[in-house]
Chains A and B, each alone.
Chain A
Amino acid sequence: MTARDATRELKFRDPARARALSDALAREVAAIGRTVSVMHVCGSHEQAIARFGLRAVLPRGLELIMGPGCPVCVTDGPEVDEAVALALAGARVCTYGDMLRLPGTRRSLADAQADGAKVDVVYSVAQAVEIARANPSEQVVFLASGFETTAVATAAVALADPPANLSILSVHKYVPAAMEVVAESPETNIEGYVAAGHAATITGWGIFEPFAARTRCPVVVAGFEPLDILAAILKLAELVRAGRAEVFNAYPRCVTRDGNVPAQRTLWKVFEVSDGVWRGISTVPRGNLVLRPEFAHLDARRRFRIDVTAVRDADAAAEAKGCICGAIMLGLAKPTGCELYGTRCVPESPVGACMVSSEGTCRIWHTYGGVPDLRSAG
């Protein structure tokens, strides 16, 4: 361990500090005097929470729930169908890795690939540009998934004179819109939200102020160290107890009020919000990011007549029989409450979207030991 690490260990992973935070949180929740549910909306947060067993040190009266924080999971079946249809019609489809096995209404891109369609996994939209340049005689379609943070990169490519044989099939989603759906759902009872630190690097924490005011729920922006997360939850409990629907930035070393303004300009120059269906959840007003009309020449939906007849099952339910991914993403159920979890639905052969992606709740719980919430084990 380097000296730098040693300093850091003391500051951010000090067990005594973790205990102090945990004790303060217990006192705060006891003072509230009822069970409080708070939600985070980030796969990386859930990974850190599960990896470090953070739920084991939370008081019993506090429920920490992952909401719709996995962009792959909320990509809808009919959106996958469009990519599958384009691939089977001869286009070369490039996309991020977890999208490959995500089920459409009948088939996934991996199925199409097995049937001989050209599907490339990329880590960056810039790699899709390289593939298009290297294969000028082919139509290359980038299936663009991810939340607003990732959409910024797609937008940058759209503005940088991409090759004529590249088009974009946007399934980008806008997280603040889904938080509103959760907050307004009569079934959920979330009293505060933890916002993802690095996404807020782009948007800034100010973006959550109208949300907090409208929903009367506090929002705390959190980093990814175990103690960052605990400190953020403690702050959230304090705000809930005080009845203050404010936004608090608990990650000032990375997040500012205004965020990355040039990146936001890039995003909104290329994309606009549109109502869209999120898998398993519902129509999310203003929840999808679609290309503006000025970028019609890049928009796969406008450029090609996408015939999904052969790959779409119009009667398919949004979820396989028994799958409760939608309820899990809304915070109404836990993976352990699903009869398929860990039996018929496992990372090697996922049934539901939340088991497909490394950012899905089920995949994360399964990887880090099944029941990271040790309190429920007694």
Chain B
Amino acid sequence: MCLGVPGQVVAIDGLRATVDFFGVKKELRLDIVDEPVQVGDYVLNHVGFAIRRIPPEEVAETLALFDQILDVSGARDDLMAADVRGEIAAGAEKKP
């Protein structure tokens, strides 16, 4: 759970942001993010809250770590992948 998961902000409505996590869109809250966030930015999500705006120069490296965690070809019941999927599920369903 302390890994969080990165995603890209696609829309902002007040303190809520729609964020794309590896193709899954969820709503996150922006109450406790460290810096102002804009559409296009990447944020780190922990339990449904953005806790960090990921500086642009660090986005590729951060995404690569999670690509690798989520790639569990052959490994069933991978704990890291399950925790990351749980963090994605922590976002609210995007309201139409």
Chain A residues within CB distance 8 Å of chain B:
4-5, 7-9, 11-13, 42-44, 47-48, 51, 71, 96-97, 123-127, 130, 146-147, 149-150, 152-153, 155-156, 159-160, 196, 198-199, 201-202, 223-225, 253-254, 259-263, 266, 358-359, 363-364, 367-368
Contacts and interface: CB of A to CB of B under 8 A. Distances in A.
B48 to A, nearest CB: 3
Interface residues of B, number: 39
B29 A8 contact: no
A156 B2 contact: no
Contacts of B1: 43-44, 71, 96, 146, 150, 359
B68 to A, nearest CB: 8
A47 B47 contact: no
B12 interface: no
A150 B48 CA distance: 10
A47 B32 contact: no
Chain B contact residues: helix, strand, loop or mixed: mixed
A4 to B, nearest CB: 5
B49 A152 contact: yes
Given A127-B92, A260-B34, A253 B2 contact: no
Please indicate which of the listed interface residues B15, B55, B89 has the most CB atoms of chain A within 10 Å of its own CB. B89
B44 interface: yes
Nearest to B72: A51
A127 B29 CA distance: 11
Interface string B33-46: 11000000000101
A196 B46 CA distance: 14
B61 interface: yes
B64 A4 contact: yes
A47 B83 contact: yes
B34 A160 contact: no
Contact of A156 (B4, B49, B52, B68): B49
A373 B25 CA distance: 39
19 contacts: A4-B60, A8-B60, A9-B64, A11-B61, A96-B1, A124-B91, A126-B49, A126-B92, A152-B32, A152-B51, A153-B48, A159-B31, A198-B44, A253-B61, A254-B44, A259-B34, A263-B51, A266-B31, A359-B1
Contact of A150 (B29, B33, B47): B47
Given A123-B48, A262-B34, A367-B77, 8 more contacts: A8-B64, A12-B61, A43-B1, A124-B48, A126-B90, A149-B46, A150-B46, A196-B2
Please indicate which of the listed interface residues B55, B77, B86 has the most CB atoms of chain A within 10 Å of its own CB. B86
Nearest to A146: B1
Given A150-B46, A367-B77, A199 B29 contact: no
A123 B79 CA distance: 16
A198 B60 contact: no
B31 A156 contact: yes
Contacts of B70: none
A254 B65 CA distance: 13
A146 B47 CA distance: 10
Contacts of B4: 198, 201
Given A124-B90, A359-B1, A153 B32 contact: yes
Given A126-B48, A152-B51, A160-B31, A199 B79 contact: no
